[in-house]
Structure 1
Amino acid sequence: MKRLLAVLSLATLSACSSGPRLDTSHPSVNFDNRIQYVVLHYTSASQERSLQLLTHGEVSSHYLVGDDARATIFKLVDESARAWHAGESEWDGRTWLNSSSIGIEIVNPGYTDGPNGRLWYPYSEAQVQSLIVLLKDIITRNGIEPRHIIGHSDIAPMRKLDPGPLFPWKRLAQEGIGIWPDERLVAAQQALYAARLPDILWFQQQLARLGYRTPQTGVLDEETRNVIAAFQMHFRPQRFDGEPDAQSAAILQVLNSMRFRTPATQNGSAM
């Protein structure tokens, strides 16, 4: 309705003989797309409950990928509008990403804590297939950089864990969505860093360069550990303990060396 009113207002302005004339013959070339990022989430709820929360609750997302047999994609908010999915967040220096991102929720329980530790729930093959189709369409239409396909935990590492360590980042990268480090380059760098591990400030600088909001103090404090853990959960989900180590350093180095390559050459071989 707001968009319709705006269009009608412009039409009225253009047609009004007594008011100012609207001239649209000089369009500026100085603009870019409002949508810079895609943020991925799990819902921690059933499909029915997720739809209820995302349509009548305090949060919303542009899309919901269901957990039914066909992994139905529900469009909940138009991409031209701002959905409330990111909250307090930051990536690559830009804050409050609701205004510059598309949010995609995926029906998934997340995790449960039990006597044997934390149990994470996998995503179904149907969900992965639906998500790949959806993401390719969004990326193509909006020209989104591969490294800006991110998780909620990447943009809010102090308070969020979704989409979790079982989210198929590697699989998506193999489909040309997002980034993933070349395992041969990582192995070579890891051998070097095993002999001499970079200091904490180096880790903080490299994480910030990749896009994470990270303290630049040279101190391994709680916030830095959380950021390292979020990074590890995304790019080394087998162990995300927040400890700076040679493999994490190598992955960071390789990913940041990929930053300015073209999308066609970014993915390399998967780990």
Structure 2
Amino acid sequence: MESKLRYCFPLLALLGLAACSHKGPLAAATPAVVSPYAVTNKVYQNQADSFAHVLTLQQPALLTDSAGAQVPSQWVGTVNFGMRKPNYVIIHFTAQDSVQQTLHTFTITSTQVSAHYVIAKDGTVFHMVNDYLRANQAGLGKWSSVSDMNSCSIGIEIDNNGNEPYTDGQIKSLLILLDKLKRSYNIPTANFIGHQDWAPKRKPDPGPLFPWQKLAEKGFGYWSDEVLELPPDNFDYITALRLIGYDVSDVNAAIVAFKRHFVQTDNSPQMTQLDLNVLYNVSKKY
């Protein structure tokens, strides 16, 4: 029987953390600083309170058979359960002009998009969705056997328009954040991927300028070895792409996504000998 100490926090305390405040003489004497996101923070808190209420419901399932007769049912609370935890991290670029624009995009209902974290160019990290909750960040796609990535992943958006290098401050903060997430949720090394890895038919991020090798050196994803060997004559590169996790229903899109992540020298859908060598090497790590 597995013990999960990190799940021992009361659910209401976890979801209601943002509502905690210090009250006393010092607080009363200090002028209140109004957050520009005070309204959206309140909406978030109200929604979190609604989720917390649902989690505390203890009622039997209301079931009827085909004749309309009620099926006997009662609630018996188990002592062996925990909160669902993230098992993947999806990395994005924002493709917008500033972190302020992205924060605005994620705090209006009309966009219906969000992320758990946003990292500004100076390295500031904005936490926008509790790690245990579902953010609207991955969208449609497929990775290995996963078809609903939003339900099992944490999304990290990095302030970048898609055509510029990532800043040192961003990568430093990202590595610290990834280390925390990996340790907190025991996320496997292979499960740190990009948005394009997940959705190669429609997404280009985090792009060929993202330092995947540096992340792999820290244990967040894999990278090819320095010395590469030739794959065997019967090497099936489509099967190798699928083994890593790529959706190969559009092989060209999968090739481009793989090359942007693991090779980063060109964006063509053709596999060169170097690409095949890298793919052969990387696929053996999965």
Same fold (TM > 0.5): yes
User: RCO greater where, 1 or 2, for CA within 8 Å and sep 6 or more?
Assistant: 1
What amino acid does structure 2 have at the position aligned with 1:149? F
The residue that corresponds to 2:147 in the other structure is: 95
**Contact 1:152–1:163 (CA<8 Å) still a contact in 2?**
yes
Matched, 1:59 2:113: yes
The residue that corresponds to 2:54 in the other structure is: 6
The residue that corresponds to 1:76 in the other structure is: 128
Structure 2 unmatched ranges of 5 or more: 1-48, 61-72
Return structure 1 stretches of 4+ with deviation > 6 angstroms. Answer: none
Distance 1:41 1:225, change over 3 A: same
The residue that corresponds to 1:257 in the other structure is: 284
Note the C-alpha offset of 1:146.
1.2
Matches of 2:251 and 2:75 in 1, distance apart? 55
- Aligned pairs (5 A) from 1:61-210: 61-67=115-121, 69=122, 71-110=123-162, 120-184=163-227, 186=228, 188-189=229-230, 198=235, 202-210=236-244
Matches of 1:244 and 1:132 in 2, distance apart? 31
Note the C-alpha offset of 1:23.
4.1
**Contact 1:197–1:246 (CA<8 Å) still a contact in 2?**
no
Matches of 1:132 and 1:121 in 2, distance apart? 19
Normalised by the size of structure 2, how large is the TM-score? 0.72
Bigger radius of gyration among the two: 2
What amino acid does structure 2 have at the position aligned with 1:52? H
Normalised by the size of structure 1, how large is the TM-score? 0.76
Look up the SS of the partner of 2:106 in the other structure.
helix
The residue that corresponds to 1:224 in the other structure is: 251
User: What is the aligned length?
Assistant: 223
Structure 1 unmatched ranges of 5 or more: 14-18, 111-119, 216-222, 260-271
Note the C-alpha offset of 1:32.
9.5
RMSD: 2.3
Matches of 1:249 and 1:257 in 2, distance apart? 12
Matches of 1:104 and 1:72 in 2, distance apart? 13
